[in-house]
Chains A and B, each alone.
Chain A
Amino acid sequence: MTRRRRRPGDALAPYLMILPGWLWLAAFFITPVIVMVSLSLQTGDFIDGFRQTFHFSTYADVVRTYHVQLVRSLTYGAIATVSCALIGYPVAYWIAFRAGRHKSVFLFLLLLPFFVSFVIRTQSWNVVLADHGVVLGPLKDIGLLSADFHLLATPYAVIGGLTYNFLPFMVLPVYVALERVDPKVIEASTDLYASRTQTFLRVVLPLSLPGVFAGVLLTFVPSCADYVNAGILGGPSTTMIGNIIQTEYFTNLDYPAASALSFVLMGALLLAVFTYARTLGTEKVLEAAAR
């Protein structure tokens, strides 16, 4: 018989092969999470030291104190994500179907800002949108805008900054999804009497929805947690949860509160993402869109 007897190690082989992955996760995700959980359940202060007290009330306290910023973060993130989709989809569509030979040039241009530091990029918007900067200055000079009009420190500036910074995270997955749409399928749709608009709505859009889905996750999660845009372009009334966590941690040195807030944010994001995935991530939606 040619059948080889299974050696005892055979069953373990797959697990051994993913072992590096597990080690990586353990070192860089699970351990910090455990440390943070433990930190969030301590009480004390920076001078006298923290003790493990398992006071879950910290969570209730931070939610009560900062629910405004939490809701604001999710709102800003959601608006920025929708803006990214509305701007990013046509951009991706244009690059995928209309840019011809120059596709890679446009993709490169899209990624070009990434070669500059996130903070510097955002800071440059500060210059552009300044009360007497290159945009508002001339408009105020010719009297189109009143002298006290301002964009900085408003939600518009913060959401605009988030949209700008996370746009490529929307464009790229949508572009990849559109690239993968078989041109023959588009021809088949035309052949079956569909107009350009119908072909887009019934075939191209549904087939690219997985890309949009990925893009939404990739923009929503980091923009909700972002603190750079609100920090540079915002003011006291646009503070996001990321800014609070940063202040609690680095300025107030209240580690338990900062950790608890991080978990609250994580929980809120997971909840939002799962709800979204449950309602929009199924094939039923794709099919409904195509009817």
Chain B
Amino acid sequence: MATDTLSPPPTAGPAITLVDVVKDFGGAGARDAAVVRGVNLAIGEGEFFSLLGPSGCGKTTTLRMIAGFEEPTSGQILLHGHDMVGVPANKRDINMVFQSYALFPHLSVADNVAFGLRRKRVPKDEIRDRVEKILHTVELADKADRRPRQLSGGQQQRVALARALVNRPRALLLDEPLGALDLKLRQAMQLELKRIQREVGITFIYVTHDQAEALTMSDRIAVMHRGLVEQVGPPQEVYERPATAFVAGFIGTSNLIGGRLAAAEAGTGVLDLGDGQRITVPLRGSHAAGEDVELTVRPEKITLTTEPTDTASRIRGTVREVVYLGTSTSYTVDTSTGAEMTVFQPNDGSACATPARGDIVWLSWATDHSYLLTTAPAAAATAADPVSLTSR
């Protein structure tokens, strides 16, 4: 269970709360067939919160419900404690940055940015000042009179950001805002976005299917899978202690070792790999002896040796592939149990061995660096419930 791995949102009183939100486009009401199948989230004020998941998992749909473009089939969306269901999008104090930017092609950059303020009937002088200031923040002050189509992709992206931020919304929703940019610009804009978010202090809800992006930018990440949140937590936690096999597989490279719990005591257990090898595993949730489980270890947490070590967590294997990556070397190892494992060894001279293809090696790791996974996805759904929420 992942409940104990959840950290509470940074500040008191969540900015946005989703309570058991379901969206079913068919309208038939069968929860299993829905696109979003009961999402619970509590997003803190000023937090950079990412929704991460593979294509089609319901990220955009969740975001659109928060924005007010879709009504949830059931459930509640609270903005600072006020129920937003039924409130039209133009009455919500939330702005959205679209993946395709959706800039007004007939308006200049300045007019695009001023659009929201004009609708809110902000005095003209103030509009001018605020537009000027935000264009400065996104470094587009000299492009104020341009049309969107006269700008590069990265510049359009920043106009879209400025157009939303200038309204000083309670929260900003970003749907894969960097998706259309090339890698270099993308990385530059990631830092840029993070800087702007710190500067304005607005809650960001950031949708992405790029795990590296989510890990670098977010305060917390919610990993979504098939309409459900599988885990919520800070990047480090989600990366180092994945709650489910899906999370482990989706974020970073991970190694999965299947086996049966031979013994389970408080805190530690013994995993029987089926070929006579037994390794010590940490027990964090409730597990009983005899249970079939999966163990995950990150590739960079493993040490390779050509002699057996005396650690309690180790496994034997044969090197199948060696790939030199510059700062590290990646080894693909076929273990004696038939699993394939990836190991990263740093090239800083500290590695204990530099085995070659075909060598017999031992893979060992600190017991604390491995995690038992919950395999049943249904259990994962409840695992993601923020503790503070009482749904149903």
Contact = CB atoms under 8 A, between A and B. Distances in A.
Interface of A: 182, 184-185, 187-195, 198, 202-203, 206-207, 283, 286-287, 290-291
Given A287-B107, A287-B108, A192 B95 contact: yes
A262 B306 CA distance: 99
B167 A192 contact: yes
Contacts of B88: 190
A193 B118 CA distance: 9
B106 A191 contact: no
A184 B148 CA distance: 15
Contacts of A287: 106-108, 111
Given A185-B104, A190-B89, A287-B106, 17 more contacts: A184-B102, A187-B69, A187-B98, A188-B96, A189-B104, A191-B67, A191-B68, A191-B69, A193-B90, A193-B91, A194-B115, A195-B90, A195-B119, A198-B119, A206-B106, A207-B105, A291-B118
A101 to B, nearest CB: 15
Top 8 A-B pairs, shortest CB-CB distance: A192-B116, A184-B102, A193-B119, A188-B102, A190-B89, A286-B106, A194-B119, A190-B90
B116 A184 contact: no
Nearest to A192: B116
Contacts of B89: 187, 190-191
Contacts of A291: 111, 118
B184 interface: no
Contacts of A187: 69, 89, 96, 98, 102
Contact of B115 (A184, A189, A283, A286): A189
A112 B119 CA distance: 42
Contacts, number: 71
A198 B106 CA distance: 15
A184 B97 CA distance: 11
Given A198-B119, A291-B111, A203 B104 contact: yes
A166 B247 CA distance: 62
Contacts of B69: 187, 190-191
Contacts of A286: 106
A195 to B, nearest CB: 6
Contact of B102 (A185, A202, A206): A185
A192 B118 CA distance: 9
B120 interface: yes
Interface in B77-128: 88-91, 95-96, 98, 100, 102-108, 111, 115-116, 118-120
Interface string B307-319: 0000000000000
Nearest to A202: B115
B104 A194 contact: no
Contacts of B104: 185, 188-189, 203, 290
Interface in B38-74: 67-69
B115 A192 contact: yes
A155 B107 CA distance: 42
Contact of A194 (B90, B96, B103): B90
A290 B111 contact: yes
B98 A184 contact: yes
Given A184-B102, A185-B102, A198-B119, A191 B108 contact: no
A190 to B, nearest CB: 5
B369 to A, nearest CB: 44
B163 interface: yes
A193 B102 contact: no
A192 B88 CA distance: 12
B119 A191 contact: no
Nearest to A194: B119
B100 A184 contact: yes
Interface string B160-197: 00011001000000000000000000000000000000
